[in-house]
Amino acid sequence: MPATIHNDLLVYKGSNFFRQRLLLATLSGRAIKIEDIRSTHDDPGLREYEVSLIRLLDKVTNGTRVELSQTGTSVYYQPGILVGGQVTHNCSTQRGIGYYLEILLALGPFCKEPMNAVLQGVTHSALDVSVDKIKAAALPLLLKFILVDDGLELKVVRRGAPPLGGGEVVFKCPVRRHLRPLQWTKWGRVKRIRGVVYALRVSPTMANRVVDAAKGVMLNFIPDVYINTDQCRGSNAGKSPGFGVSLVAETDDKTFYCAEAKSTDAGAGEITLPEDLGRECAQRLLDEIYRGGAVDSCFQWLLALWMALGQKDVSECIVGPLSDYTITFLQHLKEFFGVMFKLEVQRSASDDEDSDDEGVTPASKIKMTCVGIGYVNISKRTL
């Protein structure tokens, strides 16, 4: 639901896109109020993982003010100044570490001090992108905007599967005064497939069976396929059993497509066959490559954010079909920053056969163009 404005206060209703609204409020410095949070549910109000996100934002800022209603169905959020620096946060195990890490990735370049965050919890969740996917596809995207990778690092110290977690990652991000504009209209052809299979508190043969199944699919298309196994032991294996795979396709123009799959959570009662998991992940990667574009579909919204906050110059990028999450994020960008994107469907001759009446196909490319607002990190004094 679109925001209503009362005395420069943005007021939203409902729990949807809670993370987007807090992120953009923090960057823009605008206060927001979110009402009717699951007010009709049997268990109304904020969930544990949403409260944990607010606590994390409070740790990386100075002067943030949060007011919760007695029932938890209404929250007022007045952001403070982005500070960054050394942060340690125990994430809620209801969501993956990726739920929190994506927010830190978006905020990192604009902090006063370089980000050095230690996050503990579930590293691989069915609801959120894994830390492997962020490392493989999101960090190279950020490099396009900040150019220098000094201090940009994501290290997986321990892996942790749901429901108990036990994983730990370290995220470091340098600060920048401003982001450069981006011109990215070519993504090239896939030249190699890389991947990692992890096995936590299960037989090591599980990982090998996943590797064989995934390679059996990918070798039909490209010979350069290498999948590593990470058979964690002891404290590095977290607190719950599980296994999974993350595959990355790299093109000759440094575009990275990523797909992942994991076993069902311990105690769920369902059994996941390693062979099915490997084939499922390989099929997802093929779908992602078919979508095409210069950016993995999971991180289109991050691309849009950094394009909008760039210098006052034209940025353009061609992506695959926009995800629903990205479409809503573009609407929020307009409400918080007044930025509008020009979206054009890019069609090729091969699209004609599968196109509908409007000329749009499942693999239609979208050219995103905008003029950056010239967002400046005032905390960083030097260029």
pLDDT digits (tens, 9 = 90+) for 264-297: 987 776 788 999 999 999 999 999 999 989 999 9
* Cβ contact 84:60 at 8 Å: yes
* Distance between CA atoms of residues 215 and 102, nearest Å: 29
**247 pLDDT more than 70:** yes
**312 pLDDT more than 60:** yes
DSSP H helices in 109-203: 131-133, 139-146
Residue 55, SS3?
helix
* Distance between CA atoms of residues 106 and 182, nearest Å: 16
- Other residues' Cβ atoms within 10 Å of the Cβ of residue 1: 10
User: For 368-373, what is the mean pLDDT?
Assistant: 94
Six-digit token pair at 88?
Answer: 């340690």
Residue 238, SS3?
coil
How far from the centroid of its chain's Cα atoms is residue 341's Cα? 20
Q: Which residues, at least 6 apart from 234, have a Cβ–Cβ distance to it below 8 Å?
A: none
pLDDT of residue 28: 93
As annotated, the residues of the chain forming the CATH 3.65.10.10 domain(s) are 1-81
What are the pLDDT digits (tens) for 192-218?
999 999 999 998 899 999 999 999 999
* Distance between CA atoms of residues 57 and 53, nearest Å: 6
Place of tokens 């497939």: 193
Helices (H) and strands (E) in the chain, counts: 9, 19
As annotated, the residues of the chain forming the CATH 3.30.360.20 domain(s) are 190-291
> Whole-prediction pTM value?
0.92
For the chain, percent of residues with pLDDT exceeding 90: 75
- Enclosing H/E stretch for 248: strand 242-251
Indicate the pLDDT class of residue 111, thresholds 50, 70 and 90.
very high
User: For 32-49, what is the mean pLDDT?
Assistant: 90
Q: Looking at residue 234, what DSSP letter applies?
A: G
As annotated, the residues of the chain forming the CATH 3.65.10.20 domain(s) are 83-176
CATH of domain 1-81: 3.65.10.10
3-state secondary structure 303-349: HHHHHHCCCCCEEEEEECCCCHHHHHHHHHHHHHHCCCCEEEEECCH
* Cβ contact 254:177 at 8 Å: no
Q: Which residues, at least 6 apart from 72, have a Cβ–Cβ distance to it below 8 Å?
A: 37, 44, 45, 46
User: For 119-140, what is the mean pLDDT?
Assistant: 94
Tell which CATH classification among 1.10.260.40, 3.60.20.10, 3.90.660.10, 3.30.360.20 matches the domain 190-291: 3.30.360.20
Of 240, 287, 235, which is closest to residue 261 (Cα–Cα)?
287
Q: Which residues, at least 6 apart from 79, have a Cβ–Cβ distance to it below 8 Å?
A: 25, 26, 29, 30, 31, 57, 61, 64
Q: CATH fold of 83-176, please?
A: UDP-n-acetylglucosamine1-carboxyvinyl-transferase; Chain (3.65.10)
**382 pLDDT more than 60:** no
- Other residues' Cβ atoms within 10 Å of the Cβ of residue 313: 12
* Distance between CA atoms of residues 368 and 303, nearest Å: 10
What are the pLDDT digits (tens) for 62-82?
999 999 988 889 999 999 999
Greatest mean pLDDT range, 186-195, 261-270, 361-370: 186-195
* Cβ contact 286:322 at 8 Å: no
Six-digit token pair at 136?
Answer: 């493989």
